[in-house]
Chain A
């Protein structure tokens, strides 16, 4: 048996199941598949093989909370569909009604007409409850997100080998920044406290001083209580990092400092 491009189905089936054929070959091979049950069987089998490949790498297990996120998302999808009656779904969910079902349907409709008045008022109450439920769900989702952000920050801080450096303001004991540097990952967590408020359109910008030259990093604005927390700040690789500093810059950040340093600290081990 021969297929497209004088290659046998066996030659192409494995690559097709792996997703390793270019689009034009995919089209030709799929046309060929419609004519060959044997090739379809081959592809189905190679898909099973491909599905197993994921188990060959590093053992990775999802967090237990992921199941809830999946189901919450599905709940949202269902809400978006109204009653879940998306065209294909309703076709499967509702079998062709029998005569008895028609009679039941007509009876239900008659009953529904009788109950219409009370339903209207019930609908109003249900609507209010649904709004409240949505508000509570949004609140819960926000809280979950905050919790998960806190957990991620805690995980980052507790990793072995993380070093903490202090950035302080010259002559002012109030504001400060703690910079937790994970050298292995070239990442830092930055936590500022008692930071002074800054005008709209401006932000604090962090700089890493590498080989004596300031390398621009993240910009951030303090919360109303003067704190700021930024996770996963990339730390430049290569060269020698001697210090970090903070200036006030336009909110979008600058490529080089345009104002005097407000906070600074060494990044060298004492």
Chain B
């Protein structure tokens, strides 16, 4: 069973994400632990949405942080936030896993492969190890849901197919039997709406 520590203020709350990446780049494993405390649950959520199973999502998170560790010396703060970088890595690893699985399933046939996907539901309610991050996350989650509810169903569908299934706009058009131009417009307008709604809630803690 998981022991839950009592909620307390995190001594790391003032350290920026960028500083933690720099420390990790210098070989400081504790810094990577703190990044996990801040964003482990977010990366897990990305991975879970893409791969659809707990065991696979956990594997993706482990692989993603291993890559973060290796690539930390090459992180460029000017290209975006640490959170954006981390989630991009987790999404790529998760899509890699899904594509590899799909290739494997095609190779060996469908028998037995379904077991990989039919996994236990995600564990619920474990607090993030960094309580400040947990409080931020709850508010963000509410705002993201509200913003997504503000999209038309077709805009939301196009954006989610792109992000969580890794489909290009042409592939989305093919999947939905819609003209490519229509899909492009849905993606663009949907993302613009999300940007307006979510601007105050970006993960950025300062790099």
Does A172 interact with chain B (Cβ within 8 Å)? no
Contact of A71 among B33, B87, B141 (CB under 8 A): B33
Closest 7 CB pairs of A and B: A64-B2, A88-B73, A60-B122, A14-B191, A20-B162, A54-B46, A62-B44
Establish whether residues B49 and A57, one from each chain, have CB atoms under 8 Å apart when the complex forms: yes
Give bound CA distance, A222 to B194, whole Å: 55
Per-residue contact bits, chain A 173-195, to B (CB 8 Å; 1 contact, 0 not) = 00000000000011100000000
* Residue B120 CB within 8 A of the other chain: yes
The prevalent SS among residues of A at the interface is helix
Q: Could you mark each residue 23-39 of chain B with 1 if its beta carbon is under 8 Å from any beta carbon of chain A, else 0?
A: 00111010011001100
B202→A52 contact, CB < 8 A:
yes
Q: A62-B41, A233-B115 are in contact. List 12 more A-B contacts (CB 8 A).
A: A20-B163, A21-B169, A40-B79, A51-B87, A51-B88, A60-B49, A64-B3, A66-B40, A73-B65, A73-B66, A93-B26, A187-B118
Cβ–Cβ contact B80 & A20, under 8 A: no
Contacts of A234 in B (CB 8 A): 111-112, 114-115, 118
Q: How far is the CA of A268 from the CA of B97 in the complex (A)?
A: 38
Set A22, A52, A233: member contacting B201, Cβ < 8 A:
A52
Contact A56 B144 (CB under 8 A): yes
- Partner among B55, B81, B111, B166 whose Cβ is within 8 Å of the Cβ of A19: B166
A-B contact count (CB 8 A): 229
Residues 92-134 (chain A) with a chain B CB within 8 angstroms: 92-93
Query: Do B40 and A70 have beta carbons less than 8 Å apart?
Result: yes
Alpha-carbon distance between A11 and B183 when the two chains are bound, in angstroms: 12
Does any Cβ of B come within 8 Å of A202's Cβ? Answer: no
Q: Can you list 22 A-B pairs, Cβ within 8 angstroms, ordered by A?
A: A10-B188, A15-B169, A15-B184, A18-B162, A18-B191, A20-B187, A45-B199, A46-B195, A47-B84, A48-B204, A51-B81, A57-B49, A63-B123, A67-B40, A70-B33, A70-B61, A74-B29, A77-B70, A88-B25, A88-B73, A155-B120, A156-B120
Residues of A within 8 A of B (CB): 10-11, 14-15, 17-22, 40, 43-67, 69-71, 73-75, 77-78, 84, 86, 88-89, 91-93, 152, 155-156, 185-187, 216, 218, 232-234
In contact, A89 and B27 (Cβ under 8 angstroms)? yes
Q: Does B12 contact A (CB under 8 A)?
A: no
- B32 & A74 in contact (Cβ 8 Å cutoff): yes
Which single member of B45, B112, B115 contacts A55 (CB below 8 Å)?
B45
In the assembled complex, the CB of A249 is this many whole angstroms from the nearest CB of chain B, namely 15
Q: Which residue of A lies closest to B126 (CB)?
A: A61
Please count how many residues in chain B sit with their CB below 8 Å of the partner chain's CB atoms. 87
Q: Is the CB of B123 within 8 A of A62?
A: yes
Closest CB-CB distance, A17 to chain B, in whole Å? 8
Instruction: Determine how close the nearest CB of chain A comes to the CB of B180; give it in whole angstroms.
Output: 11
Q: Is there contact, CB below 8 Å, between A152 and B26?
A: no
Beta-carbon contact of B122 and A88 below 8 Å = no
Contact of A49 among B65, B170, B188, B194 (CB under 8 A): B194
Residues in chain A near residue B162, CB distance under 8 A = 15, 18-20
Contacts of A51 in B (CB 8 A): 42, 81, 83-84, 86-88, 202-203
Q: B36 to A70, Cβ gap below 8 A?
A: yes
For residue A5, give the distance in angstroms from its CB to the closest CB of chain B: 11
A211: min CB distance to chain B, Å: 18
* In contact, B62 and A70 (Cβ under 8 angstroms): yes
Assembled-state Cα–Cα distance A156/B54 (Å): 13
